[in-house]
Structure 1
Amino acid sequence: MSQPATPGRQRTYSSATVRFYLDADVLGLAKILVQIRNDVTYPGDPGGIVRKRRRAACPVETTDTADTVWIPQVTSHDWLIITRDSNIAVNRAEIQAVRNSGARMVALAGREAIGTWNQLEVLMSQWRAIEAVLDTPGPFIYTATRTRLKPIDLS
């Protein structure tokens, strides 16, 4: 996606390094973040240019891709998954998919995470804590609320 800098001349951009994958259940939040961060993607993301970096299209092409497909796919790119799941602690199938693939996941939890504005508030309240676990090897799941980032027992 090059844009002409001057007539007849193509502008080139460096590649962005994606670090965060926002799941389909936080699509509104994802579409806001990709406008200001070049390290975020989401299912169906066509890619784009942010801060002179070109983000490639997301390999997860649709929002209806099964968890058993997209979780390992995203994990193979070493992306941290951000999702919204108020019942993540009891969702055994999703926990198993995270454990089997070695995924790293942060779930925006509770009533606080309903709606894009509230999801943004939770994410920004915990952003430094989320970045602190970014390089931690998986598998892991943390739940995030406005006031805490708490690990979930995967056993």
Structure 2
Amino acid sequence: MKPATVRFYFDADILGLAKVVGALRPDVTYPGDPGAQMHGFARAPCAVTTTDTPDTAWIPYTAADGMIAITRDGRISRRVAELAAVVHHSARLVVLTSADAGTVWGQLEVLMTQWRRIERLYEVPGPFIYRASRSSLQAVELS
């Protein structure tokens, strides 16, 4: 098995979605992920081992590993410490927004309608935060 390149980190606030997508894709991880083998790739366990890891701890980790972090925490861009971590570490975040993302099914719908656009963001350097809904993917001004 070849080692998987993990490109996407799903935050603890969307753990149900993370487990669904992580069971299908070797390039996805989440807090407490034990790792997996699929499609000829081996994904290592996630270095973020607990769901209560503060945002200011997992943001630098995901940025250092070149991942795009996906979360449902719409307030992350308004909190001083979290926004500073995004900017300082050149992190890349996608926030699933709106009432559409209130359930695992809704989160999956938002993710899948925007997936190809989110994948293209992997080539874009950070820092950035994008808000994703079923109908749009929009950059958030980092100020």
Normalising by the residue count of structure 2, what TM-score does the alignment of the two structures yield? 0.95
Q: Does 2:54 match 1:59?
A: no
Worse-superposed segment, 138-147 or 69-78: 69-78
Tell me, yes or no, if structure 1 residue 14 matches structure 2 residue 2. Answer: yes
1:122 maps to which residue? 110
Name the amino acid aligned to 1:129.
R
Q: How many residues align?
A: 143
One-letter amino acid of the structure 1 residue matched with residue 69 of structure 2: I
Which structure has more RCO (C-alpha within 8 Å, separation ≥ 6)?
2
Partner Cα separation in structure 2 for residue 120 and residue 93 of structure 1: 28
Which digits, 9 at most, give the CA deviation of each residue in 1:98-141, with x for residues without a partner?
11111000000111111100000000000111111111100000
Provide the residue aligned with 2:101 in structure 1.
113
TM-score (norm: length of structure 1): 0.88
Distance in 2 of aligned mates of 1:143 and 1:92: 18
CA distance in 2, matches of 1:38, 1:125: 20
Deviates more, 1:81-90 or 1:40-49: 81-90
Code of the residue aligned with 1:31 in structure 2: it is: K
For the pair 1:136 / 2:133, whether they are aligned, the reply is: no
Query: What residue in structure 2 maps to residue 10 of structure 1?
Result: none
The alignment status of 1:80 with 2:68, answered yes or no, reads: yes
Query: Which of 83-92 and 111-120 deviates more?
Result: 83-92
Offset of residue 87 of structure 1 = 3.2
- Give the counterpart letter for 2:40 in structure 1: K
**Structure 2: where are the runs of 5+ without partners?**
none
Shift of 1:91: 3.1
Match of 2:12 in 1: 24
Tell me the SS of whatever aligns to 1:93. Answer: helix
Identity of aligned residues (%): 52
- Of 140-149 and 64-73, deviating more is 64-73
The structure number with the bigger radius of gyration is 1
Moved more, 92-101 or 114-123: 92-101
